[in-house]
Each structure stands twice: as C-alpha cells, then as structure tokens.
C-alpha cells in the first residue's frame, strides 16, 4: 500500500505569517494536532503542532532553570526558547526544516521515518508542493479497514497448513520447536519454548489464521540456563 492511498488530501495548512492564536483555533476547530506551514506557492516550509505550544508565557509554562543551569546554557538556546514562549506568529514557533515523504512511497517507509524521528505526522510532497499529510490517525483508519470484519470458514487441513506456514516463517518459532495440531477448529499448540514471550507470539500467529475458533496452550517453557521445565499454564493450574 502506498502513502497516497491513506493520506489526508488536501491538508489543512497555515502560512508562516499566520498568528499563533489563529493557528491554535484552526487546530481546535478541525480537531487536529498539527498543521503544515506553506509559502505562497504551496511549498512546505515547516510544521506547527501542539508540542510547539507547550512552553508558553500565557500559561506560565516557560522553561525555568536553576541559576547554575542557566549559567551553563548558551545564550542562543535561551533566546530560542524565549521566542517559542512569546512568539505571536507561526514562523516564530514552528519546527523547520521538516521531513517529508513522496505520495508514491510505501506506508512502511512512512512508518519507519515517523518512528526514527519520533513524529506523529508526515507531510506528503510531490513536485515541490504539499499534496497531503499522513498522521497516526490515517494509519489507524487503514488498519481498521484491513482487519477482517468476520470469521472465515475453513476446514482443519486448510487451517493447519496456514498455521504451519506462518510458524515456519518466524525465527522465534524455529528456536522453540513450536508446532500445532488443529481439530474441529481448535488449535492446540505443542512444543518447547525458551522465552515466555514466544508463547504469546505463537498465540497471536494462530489467532490470525481464519477458521480458528479457540487455542489450547500446551507449550512447555524450558529455562535455557538451568534446564528447568515449566508445564503449560492449564496443567500448572490443575496441579496447584
């Protein structure tokens, strides 16, 4: 799936000369947490978000330091913080430069960039102009559409084959010798795991296979350092 399939277009934007008050009102009225900033030609010049309004003199949330930290902090940094706390125009508080992505890039590329830079939204630019924006809400909307709405019927052989194929693709499954047996839609997990996190991963892999009605956990955990075997949760509960 490409970025252009899920992006919001056209995006709501502001200009650099827009007032902070108008930008904040625009964000509140449209229930969005960030706005791309564009010039007269529609080129992206920055982005302004809720995070840019956290340290404001009007809220008495300006950054305050001890006299020692104040002395150690460069005058330039203190001046920059003053501008962000007191600036009245978007150009004075916006983040610039800002990363962007092409509409023909994959969603995985967009997510990778958002994770790497720890940002919540990514402007989409084509031929030097802003054409859209991808936010976390757009990814959530795409996920809701991609998730299966209802269970799909399948026979045990088909379910078994799908589970075996999925487990075979996972390195954590090969490490733990996990295998599964399906009877009347019930998937019984058997084998050995060396990390408890593999148990949940195996369950998730199985529950995503269409036709599975329930999961029976028979996985045995073995401590890789001491060789101590812990029985499956169901058996352990009965013994207790």
- Residues 159-217 pLDDT 10s: 999 999 999 899 888 765 888 999 999 999 999 888 889 999 999 999 989 889 999 99
The whole-number pLDDT of residue 135 equals 93
pLDDT tens profile 136-164: 999 999 998 887 766 667 899 999 999 99
The whole-number pLDDT of residue 238 equals 58
Q: How confident is the model at residue 240 (pLDDT cuts 50, 70, 90)?
A: low
Closest CA to 125 of 107, 103, 105: 103
Domain ranges within the chain, ordered by starting residue: 3-146, 156-239
Burial (CB < 10 A; 0-12, 13-18, 19+), residue 23, is: buried
Give the N- to C-terminal CA distance of the chain in Å, as an integer: 50
The whole-number pLDDT of residue 43 equals 93
Scored b (16 or more CB within 10 A) or e, 30-56 reads eebebbbbbeeeeebbbbbbeebbebb
236 pLDDT higher than 60: no
pLDDT tens profile 73-118: 898 988 998 999 999 999 999 999 999 999 999 999 999 999 999 9
Record the pTM: 0.71
Distance, CA of 34 to CA of 28 (rounded, Å): 10
Distance, CA of 12 to CA of 8 (rounded, Å): 9
Closest CA to 159 of 176, 173, 180, 177: 180
Distance, CA of 34 to CA of 51 (rounded, Å): 9
Distance, CA of 58 to CA of 56 (rounded, Å): 5
Phi-psi region of 218 (alpha: psi -120 to 50; beta: other; left: phi over 0): alpha
The whole-number pLDDT of residue 237 equals 55
Q: Do domains 3-146 and 156-239 have the same CATH topology?
A: no
What number is the average pLDDT over the span 117-137?
93
Worst-scoring range by mean pLDDT, 20-24, 34-38, 149-153, 207-211?
149-153
Q: 3-146: which CATH topology?
A: CBS-domain (3.10.580)
Assigned CATH for 156-239:
3.30.1340.30
The whole-number pLDDT of residue 65 equals 86
What number is the average pLDDT over the span 19-31?
95
Distance, CA of 158 to CA of 165 (rounded, Å): 11
- What percent of the chain has pLDDT above 70? 95
């Amino acid at each position: 799936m490409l970025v252009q399939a899920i992006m919001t277009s056209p995006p709501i934007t502001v200009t650099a000369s827009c007032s902070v008050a108008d930008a904040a009102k625009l964000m509140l009225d449209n229930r969005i947490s960030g706005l791309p900033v564009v010039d007269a030609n529609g080129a992206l010049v920055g982005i302004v978000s809720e995070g840019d309004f956290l340290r404001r003199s009007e809220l008495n949330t300006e950054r305050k330091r001890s006299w020692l930290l104040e002395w150690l902090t460069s005058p330039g940094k203190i001046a920059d913080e003053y501008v962000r706390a007191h600036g009245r125009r978007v150009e004075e508080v916006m983040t610039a430069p800002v990363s962007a992505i092409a509409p023909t890039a994959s969603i995985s590329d967009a997510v990778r960039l958002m994770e790497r830079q720890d940002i919540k939204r990514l402007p989409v630019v084509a031929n030097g102009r802003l054409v859209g924006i991808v936010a976390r809400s757009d990814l959530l909307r795409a996920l809701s559409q991609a998730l299966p709405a209802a269970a799909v019927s399948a026979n045990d052989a088909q379910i078994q084959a799908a589970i075996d194929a999925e487990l075979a693709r996972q390195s954590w499954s090969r490490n733990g010798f996990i295998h599964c047996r399906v009877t009347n839609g019930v998937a019984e997990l058997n084998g050995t795991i060396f990390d408890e996190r593999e148990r949940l991963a195996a369950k998730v892999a199985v529950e995503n296979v269409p036709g599975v009605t329930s999961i029976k956990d028979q996985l045995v955990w073995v401590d890789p350092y001491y060789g101590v075997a812990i029985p499956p949760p169901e058996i352990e509960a009965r013994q207790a």
